[in-house]
A = this chain, B = another copy of it.
Amino acid sequence: MKRQTALSCAAVLFAVTAVAHGAEEPTPAERAVGYRQSVFHVIAGNFGPMAGMVKGEIPFDAKAFALRAERVAFLSTLPLEGFIPDSRVGKTDAKAEIWENMDDFKAKMETFQTEAGKLAEAAKTASAIDALKPQFGKVGQACKDCHDKYKED
């Protein structure tokens, strides 16, 4: 429901959004690229510390993990809005296949949302990292499945 609403006004978003940097006014497509890249950047910034805990590089902190997982789940609903038509412009790793297979791309994004939501839910009560590893793996796999098909290396 929320995603539907967001998508329906995506065109509006990139038509009016003020961007803080840059002397030249970016086009709606350039704004869409900047928006989705920023969302992915923030997702990665929160995914990373969870990965560190899963790998044992960082001591497990249940509250911190739960917070990161909640953020990734929330943020997982945002990127799709940035893939407006004809927005494969400038510096982007988005493959043309995204727009040729938008239904599949959306399905993959929804899998990411579903798995990230489950991780956030599990993290609320987990007291050990081992209990979270399987679901964390599913989130990572959802990222990878989409990247393998739709993201330039």
Q: Which positions in A face B, CB cutoff 8 Å?
A: 2, 5-6, 8-9, 12-13, 16-21, 31, 34-35, 37-42, 44-46, 48-49, 51-52, 57-58, 61, 63-64, 67, 71, 74, 78, 93
Contacts and interface: CB of A to CB of B under 8 A. Distances in A.
B17 A44 contact: yes
Number of copies: 2
B17 A58 contact: no
Closest 8 CB pairs of A and B: A17-B48, A38-B41, A38-B38, A16-B52, A35-B45, A5-B63, A9-B64, A38-B42
27 contacts: A5-B64, A5-B67, A6-B64, A9-B49, A9-B61, A9-B64, A12-B49, A12-B52, A13-B45, A13-B46, A13-B48, A16-B48, A17-B44, A17-B45, A17-B48, A17-B49, A18-B44, A19-B41, A20-B40, A20-B41, A20-B44, A20-B93, A34-B41, A35-B41, A38-B39, A38-B42, A71-B78
A67 B1 CA distance: 10
A44 B16 contact: no
